[in-house]
Amino acid sequence: MTVPSDAPTHATPGAAASGGRLSDGRRRQERIICAGVWLAMCGAIALLTWRAPSEIPALPECEFHRLTGLYCPGCGATRAVYLFLHGHVAQAIGANPMLAIVFPFLGWALLAFTFQAVTGRRVAGPRPSALWIRLFLVVLMLFWLLRNIPVYPLTLLAP
């Protein structure tokens, strides 16, 4: 469902005075960003479909892990995407459990951004409140901390 052009919307940077539609310049900018994100994502998916992450020398090592020996919240995400693309869902969740939680929200955000870039209108729907964002950040920090404690069952959180 979309927001009608005459419905009141929150003021957003770049929104024209005509019912929440984006200005032509802002819409063009969003289209370019959107196309770049989709191209990068499709390229990454194609690469991970044909090659395992360990076979791709261009993939950088996690700098946080290299410098500290600890796992960051993103460690194992590339392996998780690779495993998911090859149908190994349980192993993908094991490689990075947080990605399994965040992935549907990222997908929805990408689709909503794409819709806005193409049509110039925002997708109607709930927006995360400040409380939900803070709660997510607390969960992310706990995940980061707990996956680095070398005690079973917390070792299951490590990639």
Predicted model pTM: 0.70
pLDDT tens-place string over residues 102-127: 988 888 888 888 888 888 888 877 78
pLDDT tens-place string over residues 76-95: 888 888 899 999 999 999 99
> Please, which residues have CB within 8 angstroms of residue 5's CB and are 6 or more apart in sequence?
18, 19, 20, 21, 121
8 Å CB contact between 63 and 27: no
**pLDDT at residue 17, as a whole number:** 45
Domain ranges of the chain: 24-157
> Please, which residues have CB within 8 angstroms of residue 91's CB and are 6 or more apart in sequence?
83
